[in-house]
């Protein structure tokens, strides 16, 4: 039976609950325990799949096809435990389930209320898989006091009451602001945050205090006294140069020991942190540097491409180089020539996205990379733009474009080299979709197999001809153009097992030019970099030596 750790936040948002949860999961693994991490989000969207990246950052996709919060990406990158659909729930999903049950008559005519029906649904969600691991870490989104989060706080309060006394603990993250005028760290915001938490029946066992300055012992003692927490359970969370320093930094501050003490686990198993020492060494001791341009449409918010940036970092670690990422707005190339902006980069990456805005700029970026021999990695829409570029400028299909853009405009403007995906095979059945279906959860989502052409570059990169990768897309390259494109040198080197859906394209006569329909960044980890990102950065290193 799992022990539960509930992670909450107070004072302000974006304190790093997700990172703290992920780092704690890694530390518990280092001590020999098994873990699973979950995210409970108070927003009313069923999932973040229909949100703009500007609203909520990237959408992280699991193997089983769930569209989830980006914090699940942190969980996977730090623990290596593949997230599942049951590891992410929102208020919208909870209320939808409750209302579906009410419509079916499952509640036998009772009046449906937040307590107990909504809170009971949250508790049932928390119980999923509790016999599979030693520790279940559950992060509650938002901050204590948010009106939309109250059902979740009430649910975890009830849940801890239902379980035995030593089975649940609460970890609360707060901010210790520093007033430069007086030269003091102020503990009052933390005290008020804990008081708010206590007012709804939850007493924290551990406090993680985010601070830009060292926390003196007397301040720790004061926080412990006024918040009814042991001084040893007041843990400092300082700003770090890299998120991958977090496991060692939190271990140094005693977070994992405080958790084991709260559960009464003694003697505590000694941790093996060799993998994190190696990760930190690779981060801090690079033997070179490369610069990669990410040409996208959401570049004003880096979290929109969170997993891509981290995967590039992992590729750099594998090659012992620092990868310097620079964000290039694809719309810039609608007005200006791409060459002056891209010629100084060692490699170019064009990520996924939705809608026509910025796509002509992405096409120009692919053209520049192809013509100048610059390493190029196109992901999802980035692959589709590379195919359209090849169709227009190499294969002579001047009106090549995507059905997605015609659908937006309401008129036929392009020859649809990329078309709306109408059906595909998932497991043992065929999935069908129409262009006017609901947006949420209707894409080709989750892990699918692909077969790679023997002898192709991607087969050499992966070291195999059979792979499985995660997808999130609604449009696909049309295979009816395959022969014409391959005749001009663009190889379809990866296909779905039934041979109907293109998964990978590459220019065989290019130093390194690969487009993939899936999202390899979602499976990359600091201690296990994804093969594509590892080799992409290697190609960037080789290109930097030619300059």
**Tens-place pLDDT, residues 28-84:** 999 999 999 999 999 998 888 888 777 778 999 999 999 998 999 999 999 999 999
Could you tell me the pLDDT band of residue 265, with boundaries at 50, 70 and 90?
Answer: very high
For residue 340, give every residue at least 6 positions away whose Cβ sits within 8 Å of its Cβ, in sequence order, or none.
none
The residue-averaged pLDDT of 240-268 equals 95
CA dihedral 431, 436, 442, 448 (to 10 degrees): 50
Residue 454 has φ and ψ, to the nearest 5°, of -60, 130
The fraction of the chain above a pLDDT of 70, given in percent, is: 95
Q: What is residue 422's predicted lDDT score, i.e. its pLDDT? A: 65
With 70 as the cut, is the pLDDT of residue 243 above it? yes
Q: Which residues contact 371 (CB under 8 A, 6 or more apart)?
A: none
- Intra-chain end-to-end CA distance of the chain, in Å: 58
Q: What is the pLDDT of residue 483?
A: 95
**Average pLDDT of the segment spanning 362-368:** 95
Asked if residues 520 and 532 have their Cβ atoms less than 8 Å apart, the reply is yes
Does domain 3-279 match CATH 3.40.50.300? Answer: yes
Query: Whose CA is closest to 81, among 140, 132, 148?
Result: 132
Lowest-confidence segment of 249-258, 286-295, 392-401, 449-458 by average pLDDT: 392-401
More confident residue, 256 or 69: 256
Domain boundaries, given as residue ranges, for the chain: 3-279, 287-546
| The pLDDT value given to residue 472 | 93
Q: Do domains 3-279 and 287-546 have the same CATH topology?
A: yes
Q: Place 425 in a pLDDT band, splitting at 50, 70 and 90.
A: low
Interval 243-270 mean pLDDT: 95
More confident residue, 357 or 421: 357
Owner of token pair 């325990």: 33
pLDDT band at 298 (very low <50, low <70, confident <90, very high): confident
Give me the chain's average pLDDT, please.
92
- 163-202 tens-digit pLDDT: 988 899 999 999 999 888 888 899 999 999 999 999 999 9
For 497-529, write each residue's pLDDT tens digit: 999 999 999 999 999 999 999 999 999 999 999
Query: How confident is the model at residue 153, as a pLDDT?
Result: 97
b/e 474-502 (16+ beta carbons within 10 angstroms → b): bbbbbeebbebbeeeebbbbbbbeeeebb
Contacts of 124 (CB under 8 A, 6+ apart): none
Q: Does residue 423 have a pLDDT over 60?
A: no
User: Domain 287-546 adopts which CATH fold?
Assistant: Rossmann fold (3.40.50)
Tell me which residue has tokens 């974006």. 14
User: Is 419 a residue whose pLDDT tops 90?
Assistant: no
Write the CA distances from 418 to 401, 402, 406, 439, 494, integer angstroms: 7, 5, 11, 18, 16
CA–CA distances in Å: residue 533 to residues 375, 383, 461 = 11, 15, 10
Which is nearest to 9 in space by CA: 213, 153, 161, 181? Answer: 153
Nearest Cα neighbor of 138 from 35, 55, 44, 209 is 35
Contact 19, 73 (CB under 8 A): no
Q: Quote the crossing angle between the two packed helices 71-79 and 306-318, to the nearest 10°.
A: 20
What are the two backbone dihedrals, phi and then psi, of residue 535, each rounded to the nearest 5 degrees?
Answer: -80, -30
Q: pLDDT tens, 457-499?
A: 999 999 999 999 999 998 999 999 999 999 999 999 999 999 9
Residues 6+ apart with CB under 8 A from 234: 207, 209, 215, 220, 223, 224, 227
Backbone angles phi, psi at 173, to 5 degrees: -100, 130
Q: What residues are annotated to the active site?
A: 380, 519, 521
pLDDT tens readout for residues 125-169: 999 999 999 999 999 999 998 999 999 999 999 999 999 888 999
């Amino acid at each position: 039976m799992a022990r539960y750790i509930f992670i909450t936040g107070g004072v302000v948002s974006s304190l790093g609950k997700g990172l703290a949860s992920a780092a704690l999961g890694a530390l518990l693994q280092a001590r020999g325990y098994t873990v699973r991490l979950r995210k409970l989000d108070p927003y009313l969207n069923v999932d973040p799949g229909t949100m703009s990246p500007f609203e909520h950052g990237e959408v992280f996709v699991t193997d089983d096809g769930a569209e989830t919060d980006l914090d699940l990406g942190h969980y996977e990158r730090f623990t290596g435990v593949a997230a599942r659909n049951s590891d992410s729930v929102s208020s919208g999903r909870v209320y939808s389930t409750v209302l579906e049950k009410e419509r079916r008559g499952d509640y036998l005519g009772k009046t449906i209320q937040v307590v107990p029906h909504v809170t009971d649904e949250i508790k049932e969600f928390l119980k999923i898989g509790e016999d599979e691991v030693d520790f279940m870490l559950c992060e509650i989104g938002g901050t204590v006091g948010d009106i939309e989060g109250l059902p979740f706080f009430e649910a975890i309060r009830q849940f801890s009451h239902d379980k035995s006394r030593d089975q649940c603990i609460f970890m609360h993250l707060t901010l210790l602001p520093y007033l430069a005028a007086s030269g003091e760290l102020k503990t009052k915001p933390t005290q008020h945050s804990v008081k708010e938490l206590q007012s709804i029946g939850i007493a924290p066992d551990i406090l993680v205090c985010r601070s830009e300055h060292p926390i003196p012992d007397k301040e720790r003692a004061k926080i412990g006294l006024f918040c009814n927490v042991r001084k040893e359970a007041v843990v400092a969370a300082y700003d770090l140069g890299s998120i991958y320093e977090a496991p060692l930094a939190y271990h140094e501050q005693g977070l994992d020991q405080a958790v084991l003490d709260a559960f009464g686990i003694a003697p505590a198993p000694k941790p093996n942190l060799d993998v994190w020492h190696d990760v930190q060494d690779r981060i801090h001791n690079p033997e070179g540097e490369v610069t990669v341009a990410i040409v996208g449409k959401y570049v004003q918010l880096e979290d929109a491409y969170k997993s891509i940036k981290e995967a590039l970092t992992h590729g750099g670690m594998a090659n012992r180089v620092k990868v310097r990422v620079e964000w290039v707005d694809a719309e810039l190339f609608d007005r200006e020539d791409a060459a002056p902006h891209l010629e100084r980069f060692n490699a170019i990456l064009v990520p996924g996205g939705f809608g026509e805005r910025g796509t002509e700029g992405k096409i120009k970026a692919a053209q520049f990379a192809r013509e100048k021999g610059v390493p190029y990695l196109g992901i999802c829409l980035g692959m589709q733009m590379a195919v359209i570029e090849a169709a227009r400028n190499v294969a002579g299909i001047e009106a090549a474009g995507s059905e997605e853009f015609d659908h937006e405009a309401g008129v036929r403007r392009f020859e649809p080299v990329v078309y709306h995906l109408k059906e595909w095979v998932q497991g043992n059945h065929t999935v069908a979709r129409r262009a006017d279906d609901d947006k949420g959860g209707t894409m080709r989502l989750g892990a699918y197999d692909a077969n790679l052409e023997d002898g192709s570059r991607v087969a050499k990169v992966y070291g195999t001809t059979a792979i499985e990768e995660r997808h999130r897309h609604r449009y696909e390259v049309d295979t009816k153009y395959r022969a014409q494109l391959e005749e001009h040198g663009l190889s379809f080197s990866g296909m779905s097992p039934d041979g109907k859906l293109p998964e990978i394209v590459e220019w065989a006569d290019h130093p390194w030019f690969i487009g993939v329909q899936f999202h390899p960044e979602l499976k990359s980890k600091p201690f296990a970099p994804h093969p594509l990102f590892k080799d992409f950065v290697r190609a960037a290193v080789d290109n930097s030596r030619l300059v």
